Chains A and B, each alone.
Chain A
Amino acid sequence: QLVQSAAEVKKPGASVRVSCKTSGYSFDTYGISWVRQAPGQGLEWMGWISIDNIKTTNVQKLQGRVTMTRDTSTSTVYMELRSLRSDDTAMYYCARVALGGVIDYWGQGTLVTVSA
């Protein structure tokens, strides 16, 4: 299971941190990816964090505004997005990454709304 934190409402320029608590599998065996979906739109890959804590982000789309961290003591992964804009309003999903990069299981999503 991947259980995400509750919905957030933020003002432009603020930051948001979304958590993804995992259970039911060995946390050290799988990476975690983050994908977002703007209202009525398609899926956008944001980045992933590997089991050896290597982080790769979609720099072109996110311009270095995203940070991902893993807490092995709680089997939780965090995604922080800074300098929020209105077009960051989206459902944010965490998803498990299996060997070879296959995204196999998804969290339920966290809605982040950016509004003045």
Chain B
Amino acid sequence: DIVMTQSPDSLTVSLGERATINCKSSQSILYRSNNKNYLAWYQQKLGQPPKLLISWASTRESGVPDRFSGSGSGTDFTLTITNLQAEDVAVYYCLHHYYTPWTFGQGTKVEIK
């Protein structure tokens, strides 16, 4: 199975500042035939189901603010939240769907300083 490891487990950021969350896979999740990274990022606010933010490592979903961006390829990926807002307080998860079983990272909790 592919293991997804996020870092840090939690971070505290001031309003308007940048939050950076890393996700590392135990093997490459880049499918060379279509040059796609099989990685998604989700935001889960307290008491709510997760919400898809980013698919294919860097494609922002419709309606997601452009302060959210995803980058990386192969085994190392990053979710960046610029200009952090109060409503961004949540737990963020990466998920690979390269082959089954799909696995999530352990989550990164983002709080406001």
Residue contact B95 to A45, C-beta cutoff 8 Å? yes
CA distance A59 to B95 in the complex (A): 18
- Within the complex, the shortest CB–CB distance from B110 to chain A, in Å, comes to 15
Query: A102-B56, A102-B97 are known contacts. Are A107 and B49 too (CB-CB below 8 A)?
Result: yes
Q: Which residues of chain B are near A66, meaning CB under 8 Å?
A: none
Residue contact A56 to B100, C-beta cutoff 8 Å? yes
Residue contact A106 to B101, C-beta cutoff 8 Å? no
Residue contact B93 to A43, C-beta cutoff 8 Å? yes
Residue contact B97 to A100, C-beta cutoff 8 Å? yes
- Within the complex, the shortest CB–CB distance from B41 to chain A, in Å, comes to 11
Residue contact A45 to B49, C-beta cutoff 8 Å? no
Interface check B75, CB cutoff 8 A: no
Indicate the size class of the contact surface on chain A.
20 to 34
Residue contact B101 to A61, C-beta cutoff 8 Å? yes
Indicate the size class of the contact surface on chain B.
20 to 34
Q: Which residues of chain B are near A60, meaning CB under 8 Å?
A: 1, 101
Residue contact A42 to B104, C-beta cutoff 8 Å? yes
Number of A-B contacts (CB under 8 A): 63
- Within the complex, the shortest CB–CB distance from A36 to chain B, in Å, comes to 11
Residue contact B49 to A106, C-beta cutoff 8 Å? yes
Residue contact B40 to A103, C-beta cutoff 8 Å? yes
Query: A61-B101, A102-B55, A104-B61 are known contacts. Are A42 and B106 too (CB-CB below 8 A)?
Result: yes
Residue contact A101 to B101, C-beta cutoff 8 Å? no
Residue contact A106 to B38, C-beta cutoff 8 Å? no
User: CB-nearest residue of chain B relative to A61?
Assistant: B101
Residue contact A45 to B106, C-beta cutoff 8 Å? no
Query: A43-B50, A60-B101 are known contacts. Are A104 and B55 too (CB-CB below 8 A)?
Result: yes
The 5 closest A-B CB pairs, nearest first, are A101-B97, A106-B49, A58-B101, A43-B104, A45-B102
Q: Which A residues have a C-beta under 8 Å from some C-beta of B? A: 33, 35, 42-45, 47-48, 56, 58-61, 93, 95, 100-109
